[in-house]
Structure 1
């Protein structure tokens, strides 16, 4: 019980010393209460098949996953790999995925050479009718160390012929993605390095290229950031993020008349009405019965409400509880020759849409309800 002294969980995700107002972690890592490297490796058979049930059971019991293996564990929790696959099969699939990612990234680089250069764009480079913006107001990251500007790049692209709608829409998103990137997890020492910011930008712009919806959504950088930190290989981080987006893409879709988590908000209202009818009535009286205050919590899964470590802990707990062994089998695996539209049209995203009507409520809805229940007295007297 007394064991070794507790180790601050956030010590693995170093916060810049001048950032003193970040949320503090609620958890401590103690020996014997973690999924260690040794226990993780012992869960694999000699040929590489994973005893996923044992791993899920440990996460269900609230153990913390060591940061050095968290990325690998997440790849299984998110369905990137079939736990029944062998080491050889996963290595082959890994190479195919990396090849597919590099192919898409090369296409993006050919259109706009900043992609993959270790830099990123911070200002609009094109108008909505496909014309280059002359001398953008902020373009330091592109022009530093090179004589080629973003305007030159767009003019060079235009010299090859008129731009199609897909390219125009993609170019319009580049600086918008960067605005999010430059605000994401900036309290972490990790993002003091330009190359880490550029890697996050690259992953998001490549995803924007293959995403058939073709719309940048605020919040995606919050979801991609942990993948960059936990998975050293950029392509592996991309595919882990892509798999997560298949689960959450609907949450992030918002229009002038609706939000992507609208159905979850309705269910949150119903759950709260059952567990704390007095609080629900109070919120109704205040005009908060639509529960819109919970939109951000549900859209980016509490990334901005909890510390970096605590949000990751919650993610893996929810993924373990919601684990579906069918996710791997119903996913169209990539290959180096695969057309991205085919990949997206037959991806797990479509499977999730089919499942949405019959799937149970996500754990996140109950988590928000439990927070409201815990703070009920305070809300009734102070709100």
Structure 2
């Protein structure tokens, strides 16, 4: 465990509801002078025109994470929202264009379902799979507390007015039907997301989360909305004041992870990563892999949640953010911005944003290792994080796990007891060890999503 003495605690930035304090794990993340990326160091990383020295920033994040006061704006760079080799003016133009785009999409959604953008949201279905509005009195009762009745949280988060419900007409457009079918599920998940935080005691913050997820579900017609996305989006709402900025930060994260949520009748998107995890464990810890296969866990589905929502349930809220930013700093690819910009964007890209040859000094440490080993289809660090967790628990799993229920229990017992920095360090070590044991040609054929 890394030492945390003399460090400023970060819990105060993500206040826990008093009645929940005893039920949530304490954060291990401490703000450390000289290690954590501070407000002063972050501001000093920009030149007068606004160009960012991303290399020094990455090394600082890898050592001690990001100060919560600047976490949101740093994440925008880590996730590829903005190119470090851009000026302040260029970024302002991009930011404004994206806010306009988000508001345009949100207005389309509002026209389809007026509660979008109203500061309210629903938890009851309002339409059938055939497109018929649901007029069941029980549904209307749930979606319309009405008459000024005081209903304690979380029930007060389903305030669809009776007019909004009864005025719905039959829908025939399949895309609209599919989207409207997800709205109540998004509402239910919003109520379950980070409810221990004081931040989500405010109706307006719950509604903002619902709005962003509803708009994303409308825009991403391939994946739409799936459970787990609210866990990924929630921090963005807290870290970025502008709803449009929060949306685009979430959208960039989903570009990395949306493959996890793409499901068919025969498979789920995260299965390829679980298969990769099995291969890694077989190479690095063959005894454990053989034991897990013997128990019927050779598909590694017990690690499904860790990969799907990036360890949000295994760490405290604050520590999960710390883990994410270390992962993104380690994996940082300076080509992210150009890869993520749409080729048919309405706005011409400034010539200054066209990137020159990739510089290793601008890459994260994990990305540099991949470049060094000429890995064409790199494995995500998240898979090695899970492998690192399994390695740490290998002896316990080998001696105590007599069935899959035991495996799940042993892994669940880790919740709140994991060290984010230690996990990342372990993942990096396993990655190097794996690359040495597996031929480069073989590793380049692995798929990350």
* 2:96 counterpart of 1:78: no
* 2:245 counterpart of 1:244: no
Shift of 1:93: 0.8
Shift of 1:311: 1.0
Q: Quick check: 1:111–1:157 contact (8 Å CA) kept in 2?
A: no
TM-score by length of 2: 0.75
* 2:376 counterpart of 1:358: yes
Q: 1:153 aligns with which of 146, 164, 187?
A: 164
> Aligned Cα RMSD in Å?
2.5
- After TM superposition, list the pairs within 5 Å mapping 1:324-339 onto structure 2: 324-332=333-341
- Find the counterpart in structure 2 of residue 91 from structure 1: 92
Shift of 1:146: 8.8
- Find the counterpart in structure 1 of residue 397 from structure 2: 379
Distance in 2 of aligned mates of 1:186 and 1:252: 23
Q: Relative to structure 1, is the Cα distance of residues 321 and 158 closer, same or farther in structure 2, using a 3 angstrom cutoff?
A: same
- Find the counterpart in structure 2 of residue 342 from structure 1: none
What are the superposed Cα offsets for residues 287-336 of structure 1, whole Å, 9 maximum, x if unpaired?
11111100110011001111111111111111111112222113335999
* 2:51 counterpart of 1:49: yes
- Find the counterpart in structure 2 of residue 38 from structure 1: 40
Q: 2:298 aligns with which of 280, 286, 289?
A: 289
Q: Quick check: 2:233–2:250 contact (8 Å CA) kept in 1?
A: yes
TM-score by length of 1: 0.88
Q: 1:202 aligns with which of 192, 201, 211?
A: 211
Shift of 1:23: 2.3
Runs of 5+ in structure 1 lacking a partner? 339-356
Distance in 2 of aligned mates of 1:3 and 1:215: 41
| Worse overlay, 168-177 or 255-264 | 255-264
What are the superposed Cα offsets for residues 195-251 of structure 1, whole Å, 9 maximum, x if unpaired?
110000000000011112153211000000000010011000000000100100001
Q: Relative to structure 1, is the Cα distance of residues 292 and 380 closer, same or farther in structure 2, using a 3 angstrom cutoff?
A: same
Q: Quick check: 1:279–1:376 contact (8 Å CA) kept in 2?
A: yes
Shift of 1:175: 0.1
Shift of 1:3: 11
- Find the counterpart in structure 1 of residue 118 from structure 2: 117
Q: Quick check: 2:217–2:224 contact (8 Å CA) kept in 1?
A: yes
| Worse overlay, 15-24 or 313-322 | 15-24
What are the superposed Cα offsets for residues 251-309 of structure 1, whole Å, 9 maximum, x if unpaired?
12233421211111111112112222211111111111111100110011001111111
| Worse overlay, 241-250 or 20-29 | 20-29
Shift of 1:150: 5.6
Distance in 1 of aligned mates of 2:140 and 2:199: 23
Shift of 1:5: 2.8
SS at match of 1:302: coil
Q: Quick check: 1:71–1:230 contact (8 Å CA) kept in 2?
A: yes
Distance in 2 of aligned mates of 1:325 and 1:185: 32
Distance in 1 of aligned mates of 2:284 and 2:343: 45
Q: Quick check: 1:182–1:197 contact (8 Å CA) kept in 2?
A: yes
- Find the counterpart in structure 2 of residue 233 from structure 1: 242
- Find the counterpart in structure 1 of residue 156 from structure 2: none
Shift of 1:139: 5.2
Shift of 1:144: 5.4
Q: Quick check: 2:260–2:269 contact (8 Å CA) kept in 1?
A: yes
Shift of 1:153: 3.2
Q: Relative to structure 1, is the Cα distance of residues 136 and 171 closer, same or farther in structure 2, using a 3 angstrom cutoff?
A: farther
Q: 2:287 aligns with which of 278, 296, 300?
A: 278
Distance in 2 of aligned mates of 1:146 and 1:208: 32
Shift of 1:145: 6.6
SS at match of 1:137: helix
Distance in 1 of aligned mates of 2:169 and 2:4: 66
Distance in 1 of aligned mates of 2:23 and 2:70: 29
Shift of 1:33: 2.1
Shift of 1:30: 2.3
* 2:77 counterpart of 1:68: no
| Worse overlay, 252-261 or 196-205 | 252-261
Q: Quick check: 2:146–2:161 contact (8 Å CA) kept in 1?
A: no
Runs of 5+ in structure 2 lacking a partner? 149-159, 348-374, 402-449
